Amino acid sequence: MSALPRADPCEPPSGSMIVFTDLDGTLLGHHTYAFDAALPALKALQNRGIPLIIATSKTIPEVERLRRRLHNRHPYIVENGAALVIPQGYFSGGTDSESESEYESILLSSPYETLRAKLCQWRADHGFRFEGFGDWDASTISKHTELPLEDARLAGERVGSEPLLWHDSETALAQFRALLEKEGLRLIKGGRFDHVIGETNKARACRKLLKLYHTHQSVTPRVVALGDSPNDLEMLQLADDAVVIRRHDGSYMPYTGDNRVTHTEKIGPAGWNEALQEILGSGVVEIRG
């Protein structure tokens, strides 16, 4: 996997555009997890100072590792909106959130330990047949995700969501969903797993971040969002420009929305590059303040 040239430390953008992106199957290849095919558009965003906001099902340590390769210093969203992570000092005045050593983390879901306790209790009480990351060691996570062992270990370091594989009937799934709803939780479909999470999603975290940009800059930039799975749907719907990335099997996720939408011809990061090059070349800049 290639790396981008090192960039100077980034300040929040001056206002023209912001890009939210999913990772797996979108910016990263579905099987390879590489972003080489997206390098031209990544460099164009970097050169123009346009923030690239990662919004992913991955964990904080997974994204931190990738951000170092991308030289990305902007906020990011993890675990399908379970938390919004902001580098220390990115916004002057702070965010009234829990402080970490290098970033501020705003938890938007129930804590992971609370989720796991509920899931294990329901499995024992109702006999549901499913497996989650909390049931697996790093080697098993690696097997199910195709990640290298160290990356799989990082994928297990969760703060507010649980990916799982459902092995039970549709009737049992309906019962499971009803229990989740009663507890203020939800089940969302990702590219490889179902994800149990609190009453949040990528779109909620995106809106919270956009509000912070507006507070500190008094402008709302043109929003571009790219994704390939149902867990990206609400994020794409809130954008001015939605980009549905063609999947590795040639299909597209179903999309409904009244915003501008592009379906890429190319797959994964090649499609990501294709769409953003076209958007950046359009010369359209909208600032709504």
Cα–Cα distance measured from residue 91 to residue 59, given in angstroms and rounded to the nearest whole number:
22
Please indicate whether residue 22 is annotated as part of the active site: yes
Cα–Cα distance measured from residue 91 to residue 95, given in angstroms and rounded to the nearest whole number:
8
Of 214, 209, 212, whose CA–CA distance to 288 is shortest? 214
What is the amino acid identity at position 59?
A: T
Beta bridge partners of residue 106, listed in sequence order: 84
State the CB neighbour count (10 A cutoff) for residue 75: 25
Q: Cβ contacts of residue 147 below 8 Å, gap of 6+?
A: 33, 141, 155
Cα–Cα distance measured from residue 6 to residue 282, given in angstroms and rounded to the nearest whole number:
27
From 8, 22, 194, 258, the catalytic residue: 22
The burial class, CB within 10 Å (0-12 / 13-18 / 19+), for 62 is: buried
Query: What are the tokens at 20?
Result: 């939210």
Q: How far is CA 106 from CA 48, 140, 159, 198, 203, in A?
A: 28, 29, 11, 14, 15
The edge-to-edge listing of strands for the beta sheet with 194-198 is: 130-132, 161-166, 194-198, 185-189
Catalytic positions, please?
A: 22
